[in-house]
């Protein structure tokens, strides 16, 4: 039976969602970094630095960066911990290629490998990684539960999962302003800077459909992690979730 899921506010067949998501990221790949800076006023850089701080990376860690896109998180880890082995991975060829080109151009390719794969079916053995990171990627998965289970399977017992994702603002007034910004300004910015308002309309809608902090924490536990906690950033617009077996 063909089950339904959400693609932003639209209902689509589960079997079709990854194609729709793929179209969005193929379309935004060339302007992805400029748009990220413009939309978040550069704050995404700080959020990613905080994620790496919280990850307590070990010098020789083997790391899987899922939905690595243009490679912001991998770049921070590679520069700070040059002896780690990082697998940059993304389902989308164009995004992964942007990441690979950037790794070469900005000299962080010495400890990075590049894998085109879905975070929902990881082609790795059990207990392979010390750390798995997912930056603004989980929201786009068709089956988030399956993705989380795969991440747990591929992590070593003492390994950690860190997820950076949009979440739910705590303050109701702030939430209203954020809603107005998301649905009025984001698609316009997308149209002006990237000639693509639809993809940024999807961004706003997909954020609203994503599980909030407590719900995602529960999903992490249900996928088999012993411990899950989260840190809110910018009043909960963004949250960092950590799954571990400590
Ligand atoms: C918003 S970008 C995030 C890129 C980067 N991690 C960052 O934080 O800037 C989301 C990425 O998730 C990728 N993606 C979407 N669904 C995926 C899946 N099922 N498995 C792996 N990557 C996926 C997209 O191709 C895209 O590159």
pLDDT digits (tens, 9 = 90+) for 219-242: 999 999 999 999 999 999 999 999
Both tokens of 36, joined, read 């990220």
For residue 139, the CA-to-ligand 1 centroid distance in Å is 9
CATH 3.40.50.150 fits 39-166+210-244, yes or no: yes
For residue 3, the CA-to-ligand 1 centroid distance in Å is 23
pLDDT at 1: 60
User: Helices then strands (H, E): number in the chain?
Assistant: 10, 9
Give the side-chain half-sphere CA count within 13 A for 123: 8
For residue 138, the CA-to-ligand 1 centroid distance in Å is 7
Residues of the chain with pLDDT under 50: none
pLDDT at 54: 98
Closest residue by CA, ligand 1 atom 25: 92
pLDDT at 42: 96
Q: Among 91, 97, 151, which is best to mutate for testing ligand 1, by the most ligand atoms less than 8 A from CB?
A: 91
For residue 54, the CA-to-ligand 1 centroid distance in Å is 21
Please check whether residue 70 is in contact with residue 101, taking contact to mean a CB–CB distance below 8 angstroms.
no
Give the nearest ligand 1 atom to 96 CA: 27
H/E element, 112? strand 112-116
User: For the segment 36-77, what is each residue's pLDDT rounded down to a tens digit?
Assistant: 999 999 999 999 999 999 999 999 999 999 999 999 999 999
Both tokens of 74, joined, read 């991998």
pLDDT at 141: 97
Closest residue by CA, ligand 1 atom 4: 69
pLDDT at 12: 92
Please, which residues bridge with residue 227 across strands? Answer: 244
Who lines ligand 1 at CB under 6 A? 21, 25, 66-69, 72-73, 90-92, 95, 118-120, 135-137, 140-141
């Amino acid at each position: 039976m063909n089950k339904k899921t959400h693609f932003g506010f639209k209902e689509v067949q589960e079997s079709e969602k990854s194609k729709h998501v793929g179209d969005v990221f193929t379309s935004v790949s060339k302007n992805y970094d400029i748009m990220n800076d413009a939309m978040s006023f550069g704050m995404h850089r700080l959020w990613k630095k905080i994620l790496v701080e919280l990850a307590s990376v070990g010098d020789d860690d083997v790391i899987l960066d899922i939905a690595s896109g243009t490679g912001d998180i991998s770049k921070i880890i590679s520069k700070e911990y040059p002896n780690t082995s990082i697998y940059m991975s993304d389902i989308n060829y164009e995004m992964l290629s942007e990441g690979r080109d950037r790794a070469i151009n900005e000299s962080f390719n010495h400890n990075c490998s590049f894998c085109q794969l879905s975070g929902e079916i990881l082609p790795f053995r059990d207990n392979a990684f010390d750390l798995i990171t997912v930056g603004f990627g989980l929201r786009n998965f068709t089956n988030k539960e399956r993705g989380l289970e795969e991440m747990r399977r591929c992590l070593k017992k003492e390994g950690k999962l860190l997820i950076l994702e949009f979440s739910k603002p705590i303050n109701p007034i702030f939430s209203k302003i954020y809603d107005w910004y998301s649905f009025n300004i984001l698609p316009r910015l997308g149209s002006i800077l990237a000639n693509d308002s639809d993809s940024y309309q999807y961004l706003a809608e997909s954020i609203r459909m994503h599980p909030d902090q407590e719900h995602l924490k529960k999903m992490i536990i249900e996928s088999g992690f012993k411990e899950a906690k989260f840190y809110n950033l910018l009043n909960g617009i963004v949250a960092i979730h950590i799954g571990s077996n400590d």
